[in-house]
Amino acid sequence: MSVGKKLKKVLKEKKLKQYEFALAIDENITQVNKVLNDQRFISYEMLDKIMKFFPDLDMNWLLREDASQRNFVNETEEAYVAYRSPEKMIADIEKDLQLLKASFSKK
């Protein structure tokens, strides 16, 4: 599925009209329409605006035409595991902040 078709799908799910979307991301309606109809490649600037407007949108899904190449950087399918508890992370950050404050107060 192309970028344009995927964006159309997203807009339909979000119940947004093309002109509303163009206004929301501050883009020319004609240029947005051309991207949605696969008559123009998406620019980096437009992609950036789209990702800011839809922060939960998966850019890999949007830009890739072949979903079978999902694991293109040979990442493992394992879930991320934090080796420290949130409490330990906060304690470590607070300790680092105290050290940083102490080093600035000496100057």
> What is the rounded distance in angstroms from the CA atom of residue 3 to the CA atom of residue 31?
14
Amino acid at 87: E
Instruction: Tell me if 93 sits within 8 A of 46, measured CB to CB.
Output: no
Q: What 8-state DSSP symbol labels residue 26?
A: T
Query: What pLDDT, in 10s, does the model give residues 29-83?
Result: 999 999 999 998 899 999 999 999 998 888 888 888 765 444 444 555 666 666 7
Residue reference for tokens 């839809």: 54
How confident is the model at residue 107, as a pLDDT?
A: 63
Mean predicted confidence (pLDDT) in 5-19: 91
Is this structure's pTM higher than 0.85?
Answer: no
How confident is the prediction for the chain on average, in pLDDT? 84
How confident is the model at residue 57, as a pLDDT?
A: 87
Q: Which two tokens stand for residue 94?
A: 């607070």
Q: How many CA atoms lie within 13 A of 24 on its CB side?
A: 13
Domains, the chain, ordered by start: 3-66 (1.10.260.40)
Mean predicted confidence (pLDDT) in 95-107: 87
How confident is the model at residue 22, as a pLDDT?
A: 93
